[in-house]
Amino acid sequence: MNDVESTALPVTYGVPQGSILGPLAGLSTESAILTLKQTVHYYTSRQTPVYACYLDLSKAFDLVSYNILWDKLRNTTVSREIVSVLEHWYDNQTNNVRWAGILSDEYRLECGVRQGGLTSPRLFNLYVNELLEELSSTGIGCHVDGVCINNISYADDMVLLSPSISALRRMLRICESYAVAHGLKYNPTKSEFMVFYAGNKCYEVVPDIHLCGATVNRVDKFKYLGHWVTDDMRDNIDIERERRSLAVRCNMLARRFARCSDQVKKTLFKAYCQSFYTCSLWISYSQRAYSDLRVQYNNAFRVLMGLPRFCSASSMFAGAIIDGFSAIMRKRCASMLERLRSSTNSILCVLSDRWDSPLLRRWVQLHTVK
């Protein structure tokens, strides 16, 4: 895979094939979720189960060792002057705690990158980059068309994917060793284990996996980067998440901006009620769940604009020059497909070339005239 160019720092460093580092230009949380779902579909459609482990790093950004970080940074193409500036910046920072209007004495931090800092995600990516390279170089775990996708990482969120328990256990040992060497800590109580079954196959006994000496809890659903992933790959739970979120946002707008002009309300509606996070990744769901979200969207506009409950949805959206539910779904899916096909990321390039993808089938169906 080509080197990744940083926009926050003038640094270029190699990224392994089997990982997605973020946040980077052209990549998003949706890219990571898409990679996870596509990889699982690739295996389960071929009657092979996938074992996934979602790893939780305790206070990952706060435990970055400065000495190790500067050594890694010096081995990149970053100029020595910039490394010296960052080193001076972090080594001479002081902090206070404010409590009830009183400031504590100053103290210094010995580790950790700044929360919310523009350079922090890049620095953390560099800090864990060797772990991703080591995982990918093992050659074990999931592969799609010869490309290793045994780990998907977005900042400090990582999921390991493997068609076998033994390979998953080996990757976990690599993660544990790297964490010890770099002062990081995995939280086994928040890390979770999931099995994606192939078709109707059911395994009576699934061996336990362990992290840092503790058994990882096995679950049938997990919220990965804000998107609910279930072991049967159904999207009903995630659609319901978005419906509930939409209801909350709609009620907030109707309560706080009841006296605003119609134009202001329309602008707020577009900003707060048309996001539908990860809607382009919904492919397996019940018609009822999908319809409930559509009805919630229509009712949200009615409530905000003070329209009759049973007025025509298509007419009210056409009159307000606002996209209806179906139009938003088509636009989101078209946008996702365009970003996927224009990406230079090696993993996304491989996935975009797979015409047997259920995601691609849905995207095409949405734009097909019936």
Domains of the chain: 19-62+119-230 (3.30.70), 66-108 (no CATH), 235-367 (no CATH)
Mean pLDDT score, 333-341? 87
Q: Is the pLDDT reported for residue 159 higher than 90?
A: yes
Residue 223: φ, ψ to 5° = -90, 100
Query: pLDDT value at position 116?
Result: 77
Query: pLDDT value at position 100?
Result: 85
Q: Is the pLDDT reported for residue 16 higher than 50?
A: no
pLDDT in tens, 105-148: 888 888 888 877 888 888 898 999 999 999 999 989 999 988 99
Answer for the pair 67, 181: CB distance below 8 angstroms, yes or no: no
What share of the chain has pLDDT > 90, as a percent? Answer: 55
Answer for the pair 106, 96: CB distance below 8 angstroms, yes or no: yes
- Per DSSP bridges, beta strands 98-99 and 94-95 are unpaired
Query: pLDDT value at position 338?
Result: 87
Residue 108: φ, ψ to 5° = -110, 150
Mean pLDDT score, 64-92? 88
- What DSSP string describes 189-210? TT-EEEEE--TT---S-----E
Answer for the pair 281, 266: CB distance below 8 angstroms, yes or no: no
Cα–Cα distance between 48 and 163 in angstroms, integer?
7
Query: pLDDT value at position 17?
Result: 38
Average pLDDT score over the chain = 86
Answer for the pair 21, 38: CB distance below 8 angstroms, yes or no: no
How far is Cα of residue 3 from the mean position of the Cα atoms in its chain?
21
Query: pLDDT value at position 309?
Result: 86
Cα–Cα distance between 194 and 160 in angstroms, integer?
10
For residue 174, how many C-alpha atoms fall within 13 Å in the half-sphere facing its CB? 21
Q: Is the pLDDT reported for residue 293 higher than 90?
A: yes
Number of Cβ within 10 Å of residue 305's Cβ equals: 16
Query: pLDDT value at position 9?
Result: 31
Query: Which pLDDT band holds residue 26 (cuts at 50, 70, 90)?
Result: low
Query: pLDDT value at position 117?
Result: 80
Please tell me the pTM assigned to this model: 0.85
